[in-house]
């Protein structure tokens, strides 16, 4: 069995009562789920720069990145005898304006969800973000 590690950075874009989420359709542990805007770091990329890039790609919004709020990790099977350790860095982020339809293949919807009623199909790290103090 082979193993790999993937480090990702996500923006926790909250208002007083809502959290910005994207619906991911790309393969992976969040496929078919609502999750935070973000994704894998490119080689040599700083995590806060990854948040800015991913939020823009997935929502059309410009983000200002704040402090690191939490780290979420898990181990999951990729199939074909490959295990991955997913490490997710959750940063506070602010955005303004309304999200616009994304042009990336990984996401098919973008919406603000009420903190008290996240979708049943939200990722564990999106649920964690909902209770964090940004």
The pLDDT value given to residue 127 = 94
pTM tops 0.85: yes
What are the Cα distances from residue 65, in Å, to 4, 55, 68, 114, 134? Answer: 27, 10, 9, 21, 11
Q: Is 36 helix (H, G, I), strand (E, B) or coil?
A: coil
Q: What is the pLDDT of residue 79?
A: 82
- Contact criterion met (CB below 8 Å) for 63 and 56: yes
Look up the domain containing 17 and give its range: 2-131
Confidence of residue 134 (pLDDT cuts 50, 70, 90): low
Q: Where is pLDDT greater, at 82 or 101?
A: 82
What's 125's domain CATH number? 3.90.79.10
Residue count of the chain: 134
- Predicted confidence at residue 26, as pLDDT, reads 86
- Residues 16-38: tens digit of each pLDDT: 899 999 999 988 888 999 999 99
pLDDT band at residue 104, thresholds of 50, 70 and 90?
confident
CB 93 within 8 A of CB 64: yes
Number of compact structural domains in the chain: 1
């Amino acid at each position: 069995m082979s193993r790999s590690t993937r480090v990702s950075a996500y923006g926790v874009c909250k208002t007083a009562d809502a959290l910005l989420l994207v619906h991911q359709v790309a393969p992976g542990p969040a496929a078919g789920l609502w999750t935070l805007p973000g994704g894998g770091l490119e080689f040599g990329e700083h995590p806060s720069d990854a948040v800015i890039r991913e939020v823009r790609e997935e929502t059309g919004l410009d983000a200002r990145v704040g402090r690191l709020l939490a780290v979420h990790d898990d181990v999951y099977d990729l199939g074909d005898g490959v295990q991955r350790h997913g490490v997710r860095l959750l940063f506070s982020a602010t955005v303004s304006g309304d999200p616009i339809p994304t042009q990336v293949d990984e996401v098919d919807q973008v919406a603000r969800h009420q903190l008290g009623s996240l979708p049943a199909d939200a990722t564990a790290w999106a649920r964690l973000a909902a209770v964090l103090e940004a």
